[in-house]
Amino acid sequence: MHPLPDAFIRTIHEVYGARGAVWLAALPGLIDACAQRWNLTVLPPFALSYNYAAPALTGDGRPVVLKLGVPNPELICEIAALRFYAGRGAVQLLEADETQGILLLERLLPGMPLRDLPDDDQATRIAAEVMQALWRPLPPDHPFPTTARWAAGLEQLRARFDGGTGPLPAALVDRAEGLFRDLLASSAPPLLLHGDLHHENILAARRAPWLALDPKGLAGEPAYEVGALLRNPPGVETWPDLRRIQARRVAILAETLRLDAQRIIGWTLAQAVLSAWWSIEDHGSGWEGAIQIAEGMADLP
């Protein structure tokens, strides 16, 4: 196995603690077992964040991706979502082992991420088309969390800071809490959403122009889906004239998806504050960009 990046090791320890340390120690053996189980030649990994993912070749030369993560409900929901999508709008799941946190996936080639498109309007329209390909009624007895459950996670911010908001602007947190309350109370019937559909989770492919990967699997109204896109690509908060760009994105998404622009803005602001809290919760830092996005959304008409 190729050496693991220090940042990846730190992330696994920060997020999973002792359980993550046990998983990291077992990872070389897991990769070897997968290589034997599916007759794989495993190549050096991609850039790693919360999971181990590496390109691989099957015995007959077919390109695939081997993905392993610390077994957890989120990974189980990803497997369930990919099974339900069955390759429609998303990468094809070839094999999976929920108990060990293992996925064997189709490799999307050429694999250019949506972030590499220079035309932001075009990228926004493509993302909307992928959303439409993915959204469908929820299966019965599904395991997917709801948008309400995700929103409830923001309550932990005040619990952490004795009723305050820590480093996050109090007025913005107040607004996010109110938006979550109002938007959840008036939501359209829920569908299966990707849950994290942004520019790095949409890749160019051969069997379809663009396909999604890494779904969270989330039950919620369609307008919720656009929040991740409007917080991305990484560094978008530093773009010149961001207010104009975001207003243009909202207009494109509202028209293409037939959604209310104010719901798009509201969900994006609320989710950006929630994302900032998750950064504090997981790492203690890295929340500033999400708050800049929330502040920008607050300025849109």
| Distance from C-alpha of 140 to C-alpha of 149, rounded to nearest angstrom | 18
Domain boundaries, position 73? 6-106
Q: Do 122 and 23 fall within a single domain?
A: no
The yes-or-no answer on residue 119 being catalytic is: no
Q: Do 228 and 125 fall within a single domain?
A: yes
Q: Is the pLDDT of residue 1 over 90?
A: no
Q: How crowded is the C-beta side of 8, counted as CA atoms within 13 Å? A: 19
| Distance from C-alpha of 44 to C-alpha of 21, rounded to nearest angstrom | 21
Looking at residue 164, its pLDDT comes to: 96
pTM of the model: 0.94
Q: Is residue 137 part of a domain?
A: yes
Q: Which of 60, 196, 241, 282 is catalytic?
A: 196
Q: Do 48 and 118 fall within a single domain?
A: no
Q: Do 128 and 222 fall within a single domain?
A: yes
**Residues 128, 253 contacting (CB under 8 angstroms):** yes
Q: CATH number, domain at 86?
A: 3.30.200.20
**Residues 168, 291 contacting (CB under 8 angstroms):** yes
Q: Do 197 and 293 fall within a single domain?
A: yes
| Distance from C-alpha of 151 to C-alpha of 145, rounded to nearest angstrom | 11
pLDDT digits (tens, 9 = 90+) for 187-214: 999 999 999 999 999 999 999 999 999 9
pLDDT digits (tens, 9 = 90+) for 102-161: 999 999 999 999 999 999 999 999 999 999 999 999 999 999 999 999 999 999 999 999
* Token digits of residue 211: 């396909």
* Token digits of residue 18: 């002792």
Q: Do 166 and 288 fall within a single domain?
A: yes
